[in-house]
Amino acid sequence: MSLLNTGVLKVAPPAADMVELLDGGNSWEYGDWVEVIAATSADCNVAGICVGASSAYSNMEAEVEIGVGASGEEASIGLIRIYGPNSGTAHPGIYLLPVVTDTVDAGSRIALRYREHDVNLTPNVFGVLYYEGFDADISVPLTLTAAPLGTDSVSFTPNATAWANSAWVELSSGIGYSSLLAAIAPSNPSTTCDIEWDLGIGASGSEVVITTLRSAMMVSSRSGLLWYLNLPSLYPIDANVRVAARMRKSGTATDATTVSLLYYLNPVVPPTPPVPTDESSVIRILRQWGHFSDENFWIFWHEFELLMETGKGLVTGQGSDPVIEISYSNDYGHTFINAQNVSIGKIGEFRHRVRRLNLGRSRDRVWRLVCSEPIAITLLEATARISKGSS
């Protein structure tokens, strides 16, 4: 899997002023979708957005949603949440998604809409960055979203002692689906300082640090760009895991600070069952087909492939490298032979193929699947490549 890409990075609208977006007139109310690309000229992957502030802002929290579809039928393919302290000293805004969107088909209309804490009477301007011919082995057809969503970020008071931790603040009490943590959108202290953020998971009072982020702030008055701070890579968490953050920094400033979480939600994958604590709690599933035969002629089995949801392994422990046992019977289902554990994909290996090759011959065969992994198993169908003998 490689992050390298040779496709061309393009912008829209090209060689023209960016489109103007207004919020909806109330705090955190979306304005109208505004078309950025009427019809993409080729398949593309959205890389991010560009922003220019037409009017002054201060402590701006905003969400920009990327949509695909005809006017009035836009479907969100991602959302970027940004924090900006002061437009008076902000630099040009280019906000690239941690992972490009899944492919947007040629001919698609791409639009943006936007909302923020304040009501902005003067439109800000936005554009889209996208790749044509994107060929890195990476994309997620999931929606980048935020917590909190559509409301103010979580506010807390930093510790007055240099490098002493703030209290943990909850960013998410737990999402009903597995997710991938991507970034935080924080505000910053009003003085020059170094800053560290811990992200933790676990119940209140029992948080375990899963990663630490670092940044720096220059000068007073909360100057600077709209921004967010990426994790070093996506961090997968299981369903219903509480996520919290805490901050420490140099200096003693105690200005109220805010933070929110950006993450990819995986709504198509059902919540992962809890990891069993002992063998007695493992659920064993078994699926067995009927008899495959053709006039009692020999059937030569070249390939058997199981089409199922893959890449849903757990982060650690049992289920982190899940397998399914594939075996068959050539004696009408009396005995099953040649059992083999076949990987069904570690977490994120969504392109993993579950198949076996060179599987002998039979006049009658019954296929059997057995799995006792603590993950949700979704079987779609099975295919086989065979040839019929002459006797």
Q: Which has the closest alpha carbon to 379: 316, 267, 288? A: 288
241 binds other proteins (CB under 8 A): no
- Site map for other proteins, 306-325, x if CB under 8 A? -----x---xx---------
Nearer to other proteins, 127 or 329 (CB): 127
**Alpha-carbon dihedral sign for residues 39, 42, 46, 52:** negative
239 in contact with other proteins (CB under 8 A):
no
Q: Are 321 and 343 in contact (CB under 8 A)?
A: yes
Q: Does residue 366 bind other proteins (CB under 8 A)?
A: no
Q: Binding to other proteins (CB under 8 A): which residues in 112-171? A: 125, 127, 129, 131, 134, 136-142, 163
Report whether 109 contacts 70 (CB < 8 A): yes
Restricting to residues 211-230, which ones interact with other proteins according to CB under 8 A? 211-219, 221-225, 227, 229-230
Q: Which is nearer to other proteins, 181 or 326 (CB)?
A: 181
Minimum distance from residue 289 beta carbon to other proteins (Å): 28
Does 2 participate in binding other proteins (rule CB under 8 A)? yes
**Least distance from C-beta 138 to other proteins, angstroms?**
5
> Is 37 near other proteins (CB under 8 A)?
no
Q: Which residues pair with 61 in a beta bridge?
A: 83
Query: Which is closer to other proteins, CB of 42 or CB of 138?
Result: 138
Owner of token pair 């040779």: 6
Please check whether residue 301 is in contact with residue 388, taking contact to mean a CB–CB distance below 8 angstroms.
no
Cβ proximity to other proteins, 50 vs 386, nearer residue: 50
Q: Does 180 bind other proteins (CB under 8 A)?
A: yes
Q: State in Å, rounded, how far the first CA of the chain is from the last one.
A: 46
The DSSP secondary structure of 258-279, one letter per residue, reads EEEEEEEE-TTSPPPPPPPSSG
User: Per the omega criterion (within 30 degrees of 0), is the bond before 273 cis?
Assistant: no
**Cα Rg of the chain (Å, integer):** 26
Q: Which stretch binds other proteins (CB under 8 A): 90-98, 334-342, 360-368, 370-378?
A: 90-98
Stretch 248-287 residues interacting with other proteins (CB under 8 A): 248, 250
Interaction between residue 174 and other proteins (CB under 8 A): no
Candidate list 26, 72, 92, 278; residue touching other proteins; CB under 8 A: 92
Residue 266 structure tokens: 């995986």
Residue closer to other proteins (CB basis): 126 or 328: 126
Q: List binders of other proteins among 339-358 (CB under 8 A).
A: 347-351
Q: What contacts 5, CB < 8 A, 6 or more positions away?
A: 131, 134, 135, 136
Query: Counting beta carbons within 10 angstroms of the beta carbon of residue 386, is it exposed (0 to 12), middle (13 to 18) or buried (19 or more)?
Result: middle
Q: Which is nearer to other proteins, 9 or 384 (CB)?
A: 9
Number of residues that bind other proteins (CB under 8 A): 93
As a whole number of angstroms, the distance between CA 141 and CA 77 comes to 8
Q: CB 318 → other proteins: shortest distance, Å?
A: 16
Question: Which whole-number Å values give the CA distances from 135 to 5, 41, 43, 350, in the listed order?
Answer: 5, 17, 12, 17
Q: Which of 26, 232, 279, 284 binds other proteins (CB under 8 A)?
A: 232
Shortest distance in whole angstroms from residue 333 CB to other proteins: 37
Tell me how long the chain is.
Answer: 391
369 token code pair = 């699947």
Determine which residue in the list 64, 80, 90, 259 makes contact with other proteins, applying CB under 8 A.
90
Kindly report whether the peptide bond that precedes residue 158 is cis, defined as omega within 30 degrees of 0: no
Between residue 46 and residue 75, which ones bind other proteins under the rule CB under 8 A?
A: 47, 50-56
- State yes or no: cis peptide before 274, omega within 30 of 0: no
Question: Please, which residue, 198 or 359, has the CB nearer to other proteins?
Answer: 198
